[in-house]
Structure 1
Amino acid sequence: MAKQEWSTRDKMLELFMSAPDRTISGERLSAALNVSRTAIWKQIKALELNGFEFSATPRVGYRMTRVPDELIGPLVSPHLDEACRLGRRILWAPERTSTNDTAIELAHDGAVHGLVVTAARQTGGRGRQGRVWQSPAGGMWFSVLVRNPCALSQAGDLTLLASVAVHRALHESGVEAEIKWPNDILVDGRKICGILAQMRADGETVDYAVIGIGINANFHREALPPDVFDHATTILTECGQPVDRPLLLARILNQLDALYSNLAQGAGGFAAVREEWKTHAHTLGRTVHVRLGDTFITGYAEDVDERGVLLVRDHAGVRHELHSGEVLFSASEKL
């Protein structure tokens, strides 16, 4: 979809959202968007295919009668803090291969700091170890572009801070969760959110990073594939009711903005939120199996240090400092 199409659709939604009773004449829409009446009609029909509903009255205009909770800019922006720079531009599509892939392409083309790419569905979402991440309708699939967020030596802080931001936002939305090192969010021991950061460095500085976040939100757990069913869940399943997705996205962006601004200014980083992270950690105080490529380290997860390094003591008493890896709590886990 061309950027102009995104712009026209989002401007149309903004007009409807700002109208007192969400009724606007076709003439006004055509003049405001500088497109033909036929183009307006096509945009209306495209929006209807994605859950919006409109009524049309001759010589009066169109009235928006239903607004789905998709991750679209005009639905998210009213909930953003005034100082938040993330999410001031949100590019939504009914379907993408991967929001991270799209965000990286746009970053290469010079997209600005704070761009958020969202999708109702993903056909090629990825998790850790290159695994397919199932991304059905009803979830929250989005990627955030941040430019020059930190020194290369602090790149590992990005996903750790993102996990804190998501945890805070979920708590604010009434979802009680825990953090699994380094980049997952769990509810009742089952995965509800994954975070995947991809970045490009320029010398000793991160030029930009794309933080992809996938949240199993408003669909039932039965929609998950059999191979992850025992280890994953959804907000709808755990809470018994759907979450307001645009509001939750805004809350995540508000938290991310504050954390990454501090990191970029040298006033923050993981060390600043380490105690908060530990308070809500699911990983610490447990026997874990940490996958490092083709090998495993099994031991007791003692702590996470100021750098975000996981400290695991094995059965021989040797303490291992793990800068990366995949934590498993059982041999059958595949998340």
Structure 2
Amino acid sequence: MTLDDMDIQQRLVLAFTQSKQPISGEELSHQLGLSRTAVWKHIKQLEALGFTFEASTRVGYVLRDWPDELMPALVKPHLAPDRAGALGHLILWAAERESTNVTAIQLASEGQPHGTVVTCGVQTGGKGRRDRAWTSPKGGMWFSILLRNPCALSQAADLTLLASLAVQRALAKHGVNTRIKWPNDILLNGRKLCGILAQMRTAGETIDYAVLGIGINANFVEQDLPADLQGKATTILSATGKPVYRPRLLADILAEIAALYRLFDEGGGFADIRDEWLAACATIGSRVEVQVGREIVAGTAIDVDDHGNLLMLLDDGTRHRVHSGEILFQARDVIP
């Protein structure tokens, strides 16, 4: 499918979602500058994606049902109006991508503006931290956000910390109560639900752009995950027994990230949300192992400071500050 085809389909969906009345093939042909045969072909392609239309020769087409894909025409009605400088003014969806981060980085190099969001139905080459493969089946939420000149290089770690709180806030609005595992994983019932990965291009002491990749295991079952992740990761559908409406959840996440992102413009950062972040953190008080480079440091997590660093009490009684790393919960230490 070409980019032009995708744009036409989004315009078709938008026309139907904005209209309370049936739309005739002639009217759609006029709006889109296409023949009625071409309009019919695009409607058939939308049906293959999960849209349901009712057609009448005298009345026209009525959209009866639609999927919860992260398409711009489905997400944008849930974004707040008058959103100058906000996120999601441009949303680019595709049924399949290698990786939304790969696409977003390419778009960043081509000059796409701040706030561009890249989404897809399935990722074939999604990556997590340390270049680990990230399984991204149909029904999940796979998206990346392009942030231009987001903050000073010294605040780079704040981006994912702020994003983790934004995702936690948005999920709570949908009745999904999660906790944050330092530094930026989201846990549901002690299992990983969401991962966040930031990739940046720096220029001296500043960041030219950052691409914030977010993957949420949403409307598919745990059995769709690789065998080695079952029991360690979960999905919203498996944990709650019901799906979420993904376009609305994405809109809420973008709104929460935008609200927290404004802290940078106001000269703030993680310190301004530390108390709220700590209240949502599952790590503090737990015995953990942290991988820093090739070294494994073991102890009890006791705090997170104003810069987002993890403070640990090691087994020998000394205190250790971890600036970045990855917590490896042992089987006996999994947080309930």
So what's the TM-score if we normalise by structure 2?
A: 0.94
Match in the other structure for 2:56: 57
Alpha-carbon shift at residue 318 of structure 1 (Å) = 2.2
Match in the other structure for 1:300: 300
Match in the other structure for 1:235: 236
Q: Distance in 2 between matches of 1:142 and 1:281?
A: 24
Q: Describe the SS at the equivalent of 1:283.
A: coil
Displacement over 3 Å in runs of 4+: none
Of 48-57 and 162-171, deviating more is: 48-57
Name structure 2 gaps, 5 residues minimum.
Answer: none
Alignment pair present for 1:90 and 2:70: no
Q: Distance in 1 between matches of 2:81 and 2:321?
A: 40
- Identical amino acids, percent of aligned pairs: 55
Q: Describe the SS at the equivalent of 1:230.
A: coil
Match in the other structure for 1:316: 316
Aligned length: 332
Q: Describe the SS at the equivalent of 1:156.
A: helix
Match in the other structure for 2:281: 281
Q: Structure 1 residues 330 and 83 mapped into 2: Cα distance closer, same or farther (>3 Å)?
A: farther
Q: Distance in 1 between matches of 2:82 and 2:159?
A: 20
Of 29-38 and 248-257, deviating more is: 29-38
Q: Distance in 1 between matches of 2:30 and 2:147?
A: 35
Match in the other structure for 2:77: 78
Q: Distance in 2 between matches of 1:9 and 1:77?
A: 15
Alpha-carbon shift at residue 331 of structure 1 (Å) = 6.7
Alpha-carbon shift at residue 294 of structure 1 (Å) = 2.3
Alignment of 1:86-235 (within 5 A): 86-235=87-236
Name structure 1 gaps, 5 residues minimum.
Answer: none
Alignment check: 8 A CA contact 1:151 1:204 kept: yes
Alpha-carbon shift at residue 6 of structure 1 (Å) = 2.9
Q: Describe the SS at the equivalent of 2:228.
A: coil
Per-residue CA deviations over 1:124-167 (Å, capped at 9, x if unaligned) read: 11112111111111111111111111111101101000000000
Alignment check: 8 A CA contact 1:86 1:114 kept: yes
Q: Given residue 284 of structure 1, which amino acid in structure 2 is its aligned partner?
A: I
Of 178-187 and 41-50, deviating more is: 41-50
Q: Given residue 68 of structure 2, which amino acid in structure 1 is its aligned partner?
A: D
Q: Describe the SS at the equivalent of 2:112.
A: coil
The CA RMSD measured in Å over matched residues stands at 1.7
Alpha-carbon shift at residue 239 of structure 1 (Å) = 1.1
So what's the TM-score if we normalise by structure 1?
A: 0.95
Match in the other structure for 1:47: 46
Q: Distance in 2 between matches of 1:67 and 1:287?
A: 46
Alpha-carbon shift at residue 83 of structure 1 (Å) = 4.6
Q: Given residue 102 of structure 1, which amino acid in structure 2 is its aligned partner?
A: T
Alignment check: 8 A CA contact 1:259 1:268 kept: no
Q: Distance in 1 between matches of 2:67 and 2:128?
A: 27
Q: Structure 1 residues 83 and 284 mapped into 2: Cα distance closer, same or farther (>3 Å)?
A: farther
Q: Describe the SS at the equivalent of 1:167.
A: helix
Q: Describe the SS at the equivalent of 1:155.
A: helix
Q: Structure 1 residues 152 and 228 mapped into 2: Cα distance closer, same or farther (>3 Å)?
A: same
Q: Distance in 1 between matches of 2:283 and 2:270?
A: 16
